[in-house]
């Protein structure tokens, strides 16, 4: 087409991709896999004070078929890991995972026989949030970092981001591009 | 000894003086050690006696003493609503094929407590209506709270889904 | 009858067997003759954590049900055998994670009973204060989640607004909003400033009005009442037999409260009532907890008036961690700190069981010590574990949509049920 030869290869396709990613990042519906104490802080993040709805996560859908991001909040045991994986497999593409709290990032304070030492042993994780439990502000920061990732078009655990990195060491902290 | 503890011990001794092997008091609490064959009778007596009326089984747990004989202990913490008082019963069993009669016929709450003790220690409660594992998956082969089971667990004992 | 597939793993068939074996004494003349096993799995919007329920249904009516726990089993009791007594305090936060301060208090009371020391009066008043604030926090969450499970989302938002104010208070008292680890063996970690006590008083003065706003939405609301009145009934005898404790027992008509029966801390000097309701259904459990919020407010007011000045840690250098600023300057405190952190408190050989009235019921710790710094055996008698046993009794004959209301009214927390 004449337009493409003038503007360069794939120009329109990438612009559409950008617009799609902008739509996706501003309407991330979380699937709250609230297992233990971090679930309470996740509920607080959805509560009236730290409002997660202003970031586009208007509803927390419990059915995985309607979700984009799974927030795993709480200690994952071996018995629960099968359930988490089953729910993850049912989510439609593109999907992301936020590992909330110390227990999901690395087993946390439970180095015992029944706790999985980090959910990245069976799930690809995109953002790790430190804290036991992380404050709701922390979770919102994680959501903002995830939004940057979504804008860049990364998914399935590519280049995971860590909350607590110093500013500037992992790219900018701006939300919109 | 405390007045109430004395009373409980006296009432127990009227019927079961020959089987009480040990009765100690520590921090105001009475602990009575009994053989496992007669534990159901004693529990029923303590529950139905008019003066004592221990009608709540607050807790039933196991303990691994890690001694060559009488390795596993089962501890019954009882509470009386009328007297507002507690007593503890203890019984021991051997390491290989540990078996204890169940008290679910006396207190319905013992059902889940005994299942948990079976899950954690491997103590079989004879006569239990539904003895299966409580916390660990059914195919788990070990008993976690025994002293020879490591804290980190045994590699390969629990499966993880593939990434 | 649904055919069970030949299962590869023995787990599914054994639990289905258990469901089959439940004695079913309800008969229906339903021409469809259709029984079905529904799995209300660990991930569900309203199972208050990871509780799995296998329900045998006849149409919409529940014939029998079997709960399955263990999805959050973190191995606390084995951990306790490898931690010193001080190191276990942060773990107690995560037991009943709606009222962490209450669990902290319960644990250190048990350890202090074992060691044989007592905290100074100001520490006891502070512990009573935080236990009651934790009770208010837990009951606020209760009625928020009962309302949310039934469908009234507004009440949940309002109760979370109040809980955020409580979290601010906890942050000023203990340093963390949620998992506080505030109490220590021999007292509490640090003192409360007078400004914080003023803030607590302001919060307590405003709270009855806010709670009344939420009650106005629910108490005379016909939809709410129809969904909880007469649902999930449990008789007095069955409740006693199953070992139910806490507000669920008081809703069956049995007036039993450990703060009155075996008083600990300073409860014998305080004036409060023990709300009891007859009925044993979800509505009675709801009323009991709302009344308990009012009683807790009364208790907090009395504590704020009577709190004495003084030390917040007992003066027992061999068991109580000394103040950090003295550790850095004085030799004795340095040695004691070193010994306590490395080798732990060495209590005498013996065993104790100590229980307190947690917001969910009787939270008890059984500790067997063989003289070392770590407990030989620590058993946590968690109220939610025992209360969950009565779920199958409460659900017999109820409709499938009542299952949610029944679980919400029982208020289980899987963190302590699974340990």
CA-nearest residue to C156 within chain A is A47
Look-up of token digits 């087993």: A107
User: In the structure, what pLDDT confidence band is assigned to residue A4 with cuts at 50, 70 and 90?
Assistant: low
Is the pTM of the predicted complex or chain greater than 0.80? yes
CA-nearest residue to A79 within chain B is B137
pLDDT at B16: 82
Pair of tokens at residue B82: 């009328």
Residues 6+ apart with CB under 8 A from A14: none
CA-nearest residue to B153 within chain A is A113
Among partner residues A41, A114, A132, which is closest to C75 by beta-carbon distance? A114
Chain-chain contact of C78 with B139 (C-beta, under 8 angstroms) = no
List pLDDT tens digits, range A68-88: 899 999 999 998 999 999 999
Chain-chain contact of A77 with C74 (C-beta, under 8 angstroms) = yes
pLDDT at C320: 83
User: In the structure, what pLDDT confidence band is assigned to residue C11 with cuts at 50, 70 and 90?
Assistant: low
Q: Is residue B22 part of a domain?
A: yes
Among partner residues C21, C73, C368, which is closest to B135 by beta-carbon distance? C73
pLDDT at C365: 93
Q: A155 pLDDT exceeds 80?
A: no
Q: Which residues of B touch C (CB under 8 A)?
A: 26-27, 29, 31, 55-59, 61, 63-64, 75, 77, 81, 84, 86, 88, 107-109, 111-113, 116, 120, 129-130, 132-139, 144-145, 149, 151
Residues forming beta bridges with residue C346, ordered by sequence position: none
Residues in A touching B157 (Cβ below 8 Å): 113
Q: C293 pLDDT exceeds 90?
A: yes
In angstroms, the CA A95 to CA A157 distance is 10
In angstroms, the CA C1 to CA C10 distance is 20
Which residue did the predictor score with more confidence, B133 or C18? Answer: B133
Considering only CA atoms, which of A53, A138, A73, A44 is closest in space to residue C167? A44
Chains linked to B by 3 or more Cβ pairs within 8 Å: A, C
Q: Is residue B91 part of a domain?
A: yes
Pair of tokens at residue C83: 């931690």
In angstroms, the CA C342 to CA C344 distance is 6
CA-nearest residue to C349 within chain B is B26
CATH code (residue B72): 3.30.460.80
Considering only CA atoms, which of C158, C167, C170 is closest in space to residue C209? C158
Chain-chain contact of C240 with B55 (C-beta, under 8 angstroms) = yes
Chain-chain contact of C179 with A37 (C-beta, under 8 angstroms) = yes
pLDDT at A170: 46
Q: Is residue B10 part of a domain?
A: yes
Q: Are C395 and C281 in contact (CB under 8 A)?
A: no
Q: A167 pLDDT exceeds 50?
A: no
Residues forming beta bridges with residue A72, ordered by sequence position: A33, A99
CA-nearest residue to A117 within chain B is B152
User: Exposed, middle or buried, A133 (CB in 10 Å: 0-12/13-18/19+)?
Assistant: buried
Chain-chain contact of C18 with B130 (C-beta, under 8 angstroms) = yes
Domains within chain C, CATH numbers bracketed: 10-68 (no CATH), 77-414 (1.10.645.10)
List pLDDT tens digits, range C225-282: 988 888 889 999 999 899 899 999 999 999 899 998 889 889 988 999 999 998 888 9
Q: What is the share, in percent, of chain C residues with pLDDT greater than 90? A: 42
List pLDDT tens digits, range A20-40: 888 888 888 998 888 988 999
Average pLDDT over residues C308-329: 82
Chain-chain contact of B162 with A122 (C-beta, under 8 angstroms) = yes
Q: What's the structural domain count of chain B?
A: 1
Q: C326 pLDDT exceeds 50?
A: yes
In angstroms, the CA B115 to CA B106 distance is 16
In angstroms, the CA C212 to CA C294 distance is 10
List pLDDT tens digits, range A111-127: 999 999 989 899 999 99
List pLDDT tens digits, range C343-358: 888 888 999 999 999 9
* Cis previous bond, C37, omega within 30: no
Q: Are C186 and C119 in contact (CB under 8 A)?
A: yes
Q: Are C388 and C406 in contact (CB under 8 A)?
A: no
Q: Are A163 and A128 in contact (CB under 8 A)?
A: yes
Among partner residues C242, C353, C381, which is closest to B88 by beta-carbon distance? C353
| Half-sphere exposure at residue C146, Cβ-oriented, CA atoms within 13 angstroms | 29
pLDDT at C133: 93
Q: Is residue B72 part of a domain?
A: yes
SS3 C80: helix
Q: Which H/E stretch holds residue C367?
A: strand C361-369
Q: Are C78 and B145 in contact (CB under 8 A)?
A: yes
Chain-chain contact of B153 with A114 (C-beta, under 8 angstroms) = yes
Q: Is residue B134 part of a domain?
A: no
Mutate to test the interface with B, among C377, C392, C416, C419 (most CBs of B within 10 A): C377
In angstroms, the CA C338 to CA C266 distance is 33
In angstroms, the CA C120 to CA C186 distance is 8
Pair of tokens at residue A35: 């297992």
In angstroms, the CA C246 to CA C363 distance is 9
Q: Is residue B148 part of a domain?
A: no
Domains within chain A, CATH numbers bracketed: 32-162 (3.40.50.12280)
Mean pLDDT of chain A: 82
User: In the structure, what pLDDT confidence band is assigned to residue A93 with cuts at 50, 70 and 90?
Assistant: confident
Q: Which H/E stretch holds residue A21?
A: helix A11-25
User: Exposed, middle or buried, B157 (CB in 10 Å: 0-12/13-18/19+)?
Assistant: middle
Chain-chain contact of C74 with A75 (C-beta, under 8 angstroms) = yes
Chain-chain contact of A62 with C90 (C-beta, under 8 angstroms) = no
Chain-chain contact of B151 with C78 (C-beta, under 8 angstroms) = yes
Mean pLDDT of chain C: 87
CA C216 to chain CA centroid, Å, is 26
Q: How far is CA B126 from CA B56, C22, C234, in A?
A: 21, 19, 28
Residues spanned by the domain of B88: 3-126
Q: Is residue B158 part of a domain?
A: no
- Number of cross-chain residue pairs from A and B with Cβ atoms under 8 Å apart: 40
pLDDT at A174: 39
Q: Is residue B162 part of a domain?
A: no
Among partner residues A78, A111, A112, which is closest to B160 by beta-carbon distance? A78
């Amino acid at each position: 087409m004449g337009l493409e030869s003038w503007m360069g290869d794939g120009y329109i396709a990438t612009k559409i991709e950008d617009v799609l990613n902008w739509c996706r990042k501003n309407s991330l519906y979380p699937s709250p896999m609230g297992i233990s104490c971090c679930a309470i802080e996740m509920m607080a993040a959805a509560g009236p004070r730290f409002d997660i709805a202003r970031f586009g996560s208007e509803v927390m859908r419990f059915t995985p078929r309607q979700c984009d991001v799974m927030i795993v909040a709480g200690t994952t045991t071996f018995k629960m890991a099968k359930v988490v994986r089953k729910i993850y497999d049912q989510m439609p593409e593109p999907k992301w995972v936020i590992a909330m709290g110390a227990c999901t990032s690395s087993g946390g304070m439970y180095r015992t026989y029944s706790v999985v030492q980090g959910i990245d042993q069976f799930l690809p994780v995109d953002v790790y949030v430190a804290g036991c439990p992380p404050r709701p502000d922390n979770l919102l920061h994680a959501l903002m970092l995830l939004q940057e990732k979504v804008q860049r078009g990364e998914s399935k655990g590519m280049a995971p981001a860590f909350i607590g990195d110093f500013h500037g060491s992992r790219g900018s902290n701006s939300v919109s591009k | 000894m405390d007045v109430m503890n004395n009373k409980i011990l006296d009432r127990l001794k009227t019927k079961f003086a020959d089987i009480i092997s040990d009765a100690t008091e520590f921090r105001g609490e009475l602990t009575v050690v009994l053989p496992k064959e007669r534990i159901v009778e004693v529990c029923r007596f303590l529950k139905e006696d008019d003066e004592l009326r221990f009608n709540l089984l607050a807790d039933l747990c196991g303990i691994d003493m890690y001694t060559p004989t009488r390795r596993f202990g089962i501890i019954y913490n009882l509470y009386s609503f009328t007297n507002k008082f507690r007593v503890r019963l203890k019984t021991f069993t051997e390491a290989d094929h540990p078996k204890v009669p169940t008290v679910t016929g006396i207190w319905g709450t013992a059902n889940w407590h005994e299942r948990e003790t079976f899950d954690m220690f491997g103590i079989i409660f004879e006569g239990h209506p539904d003895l299966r594992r409580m916390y660990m998956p059914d195919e788990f082969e070990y008993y976690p709270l025994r002293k020879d089971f490591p804290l980190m667990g045994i590699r390969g004992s629990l499966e993880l889904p593939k990434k | 009858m649904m055919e069970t597939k030949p299962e590869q793993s023995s787990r599914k068939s054994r639990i289905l067997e258990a469901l089959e074996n439940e004695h079913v004494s309800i008969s229906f003349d339903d021409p469809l003759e259709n029984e079905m096993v529904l799995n209300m799995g660990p991930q569900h919007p309203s199972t208050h954590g990871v509780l799995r329920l296998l329900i045998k249904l006849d149409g919409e009516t529940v014939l029998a049900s079997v709960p399955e726990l263990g999805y959050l089993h973190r191995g606390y009791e084995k951990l306790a055998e490898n931690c010193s007594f001080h190191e276990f305090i942060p773990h107690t936060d995560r037991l009943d994670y709606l009222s962490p301060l209450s669990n902290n208090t319960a644990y250190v009371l048990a350890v202090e009973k074992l060691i044989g020391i007592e905290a100074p009066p100001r520490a006891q008043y502070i512990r009573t204060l935080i236990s009651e604030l934790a009770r208010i926090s837990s009951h606020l969450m209760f009625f928020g989640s009962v309302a949310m499970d039934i469908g009234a989302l507004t009440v949940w938002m309002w109760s979370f607004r109040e809980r955020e104010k409580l979290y601010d208070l906890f942050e000023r008292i203990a340093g963390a909003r949620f998992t506080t680890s505030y109490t220590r063996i021999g007292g509490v970690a640090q003192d409360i400033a007078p400004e914080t006590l003023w803030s607590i008083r302001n919060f307590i003065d405003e709270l009855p009005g806010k709670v009344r706003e939420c009650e106005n939405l629910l108490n005379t609301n016909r939809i709410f009442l129809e969904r909880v009145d007469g649902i999930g009934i449990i008789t007095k005898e069955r409740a006693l037999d199953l070992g139910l404790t806490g507000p669920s027992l008081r809703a069956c008509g049995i007036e039993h409260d450990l703060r009155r029966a075996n008083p600990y801390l300073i409860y014998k000097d305080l004036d409060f009532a023990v709300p009891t309701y007859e009925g044993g259904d979800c509505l009675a459990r709801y009323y009991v907890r709302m009344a308990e919020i009012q009683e807790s407010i009364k208790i907090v007011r009395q504590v704020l008036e009577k709190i004495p000045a003084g030390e917040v840690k007992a003066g027992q250098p061999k068991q109580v961690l000394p103040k950090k600023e003295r550790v850095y300057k004085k030799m004795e405190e340095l040695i004691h700190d070193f010994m306590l952190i490395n080798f732990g408190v060495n209590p005498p050989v013996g065993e104790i069981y100590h229980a307190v009235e947690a917001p969910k019921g009787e939270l008890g710790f059984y500790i067997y010590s063989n003289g070392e710094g770590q407990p030989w055996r620590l058993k946590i008698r968690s109220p939610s574990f025992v209360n969950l046993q009565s779920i199958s009794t409460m659900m017999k004959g109820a409709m499938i949509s009542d299952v949610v209301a029944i679980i919400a009214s029982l208020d289980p927390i899987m963190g302590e049920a699974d340990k």
